[in-house]
Structures are given as C-alpha cells and as structure tokens.
Amino acid sequence: MGDVASLVSIPEAPVPDHGKAEWFSGADGVTLRAALFQPEGNPRGSVVLSPGRSEPIEKYFEVIEDLLTRGFVVLVHDWRGQGLSARALPDRLKGHARGFKTFLADHGALLDAFEARLPKPWIAMAHSMGGCLIMLALAHGETRFSAAVLSAPMLGLNTAGVPPWIAAPLSWTLSRAGLSGAYVQGGHYDPLGQTFVGDALTHDEARYDRYMAQLRADPRIALGGMTWGWADFALSACAWLRGAGRVERVSIPVTIVAAELDNRVLNADEQSIAGRLPKGRYVEVPGAFHEILIETDPRREVFWRAFDETVDQVAPREPLISPNASD
C-alpha cells in the first residue's frame, strides 16, 4: 500500500469529480481508507455513506454522483477488512470480524477525522452490514446525525435454512474454539468468479457487470466469503439490536428501505426495528433483490424518493427563485 490513497477508476465507472481518497487511523491505529467529495455550490449538509459487507468505496461512485447532484458533501469509507482498508487476516479474501465494538470505534474515528470538513446537518446513509453498524452506533449514543436512511440493513441475517437458535451458538462456539478465522461451511468462493444469475443481488445486469469490472481492474478491493468470526459478529449484532429499549433511544428520523425479494437479510426484522424507532419508517421496494442501490432505475427511484422525503425534513433544498421575483 502506497503513501497516497487512491481510487480505482475505469471507463465504465470514473471517479466522481471534486473528491479524493485519504487514509485515516482507525480506533487501534490501523490504516483505513475514506474518500470525500464536494458538490457544486453551497452544500445542503453532508452524507456519511457506509457500505455493506465486502463492498469497497468504488462500488458507490454512482450513488456518490446521485448525492452530489442533491447538493451534499459525501464522505464514504471502507470498513476495516474491506476495500483498501487494513485486512484482519493474511488471506485478504476472508471476510472476518472480531465483534462490533471495533467497527463502531472506527466509525467514530472517521467522524472525528473529517468533522471539520462536514457541514451540518449530517445524514447517515448505509447498506446491509453498514446499516446494522449505523443502527448500533445510533443506539450506542452517536448524536451527530440529524437523520438516517438505510438500504436493506442487516437487522436480521438469513442463515440459509439453519435455525437462528442453532446458528448463533454454533458461530459463537466455533469462533472461540480456534476456528474464528476459518470460512463458514460452504463459505469459500472466488469473488471474481461470481455471476449475475448466481448472485441474485440485482435485476440490473449492466450495473452488476460494472462492479465486477471494478474488481477485475484492482483485485485488492475484492473480498470473498465470511469466516465464523464474521458470522458471530453479525448474529451477535442483530441480537443486541433486538434487546428491549435499545433502538427506542434513537430519536432522529430513520427510514429503512427494504427489498421485497431479499435473500440476504430478513425483512421482518427490518420492519420490526422500524416500528420500534420513535421516528422510524419502513418502505419496501417491490420486486427488488438485496442490492437496492444497484437495482434497475424504477427500483432505485423508490429508494431515492424515500431518501428525499426523509432528508428534506432536516436539510431543506434551496427554494427556486423566479427570475421575475421582486428584489
């Protein structure tokens, strides 16, 4: 890793204008990557964008453009163990974690490092695993955000037919019995060998292919299957959020946008959490797979409509002034 943080640019997905990548120090001094982008004109506020499991900053270039056109400063980051941030294990393809508190500390360090360059109000935006971690951060007392919009957040994990009452203690036990860094059963795969049909993450093949082209351009940003340590983190995090009185303390507007045909996370848990939030809202995208933000245009539009309805409450758009209006 060089001294200068960089972003992978390909013809199908160039780096958005007016931004660059930077390194910052995580909670325990590890090197993590973030990127900051500035809109044209005076910003309405800032969006802190947190990706899902395995996702690097580059996957969100189109989303960054969508946010810039809405007038927001955009800060997006690689979670530890993903993108070009420090990986937890020598095998870079293993998606690993050691509990959720380190992730939360990293997120706090990110906000501290960039706070002076993020005009208020702040909006938290996140997908899947990122949505789970943002909900955890809010429930643990992070008060700098004015609203949050979460895409298919991991508030309940699909354990592929294994009952949660078996999956949770199994992952807990194996991750403490010397197998934390081992792939879960059937979890090893080559991220560059995945297919549009096999993944079933989106109905938009062009957007899927664009992301695969980014991974091929720089395989260092790719990530493969999950370890028992990651499974333990994910199931424990979801269980923590189900605890009584925990999400109820989040007082800002939070919109949860779910995918009707999601096969990665559980919509019932998303709907339940939304109902427990004082200012929670649940929106479901008809016919969408898990990756709402790289879905087809009509499905993405459902997300962006929900986003705008939420953030317009706390970051109003500049009113249009008629050229004939009196001085």
pLDDT tens per residue across span 84-120: 999 999 999 999 999 999 999 999 999 999 999 999 9
In the chain, what are the domains? 19-311 (3.40.50.1820)
Give the model's pLDDT for residue 327.
Answer: 43
Average pLDDT of the residues in 195-211: 97
Distance CA 192, CA 218 (A): 11
Give bridge partners of residue 72 from the DSSP assignment.
45
pLDDT, mean of residues 173-194: 93
Per-residue pLDDT at 198: 94
Q: The whole model's pTM is what?
A: 0.95
**Side-by-side strand order, sheet with 19-25:** 19-25, 31-37, 72-77, 45-50, 122-127, 147-151, 254-259, 280-285
Specify the residue for token string 């002034």.
321
- The answer to whether residues 103 and 79 touch, using CB atoms and an 8 Å cutoff, is yes
* Structure tokens given for 88: 């937890």
Whether 68 contacts 35, CB under 8 Å: no
Confidence of residue 319 (pLDDT cuts 50, 70, 90): low
Tell me what pLDDT residue 41 has: 94
Distances (CA, A) of 197 to 200, 204, 205, 208, 264: 5, 11, 9, 10, 15
Task: Give yes or no for residue 75 having a pLDDT over 90.
Answer: yes
Per-residue confidence (pLDDT) for residue 321, from 0 to 100: 52
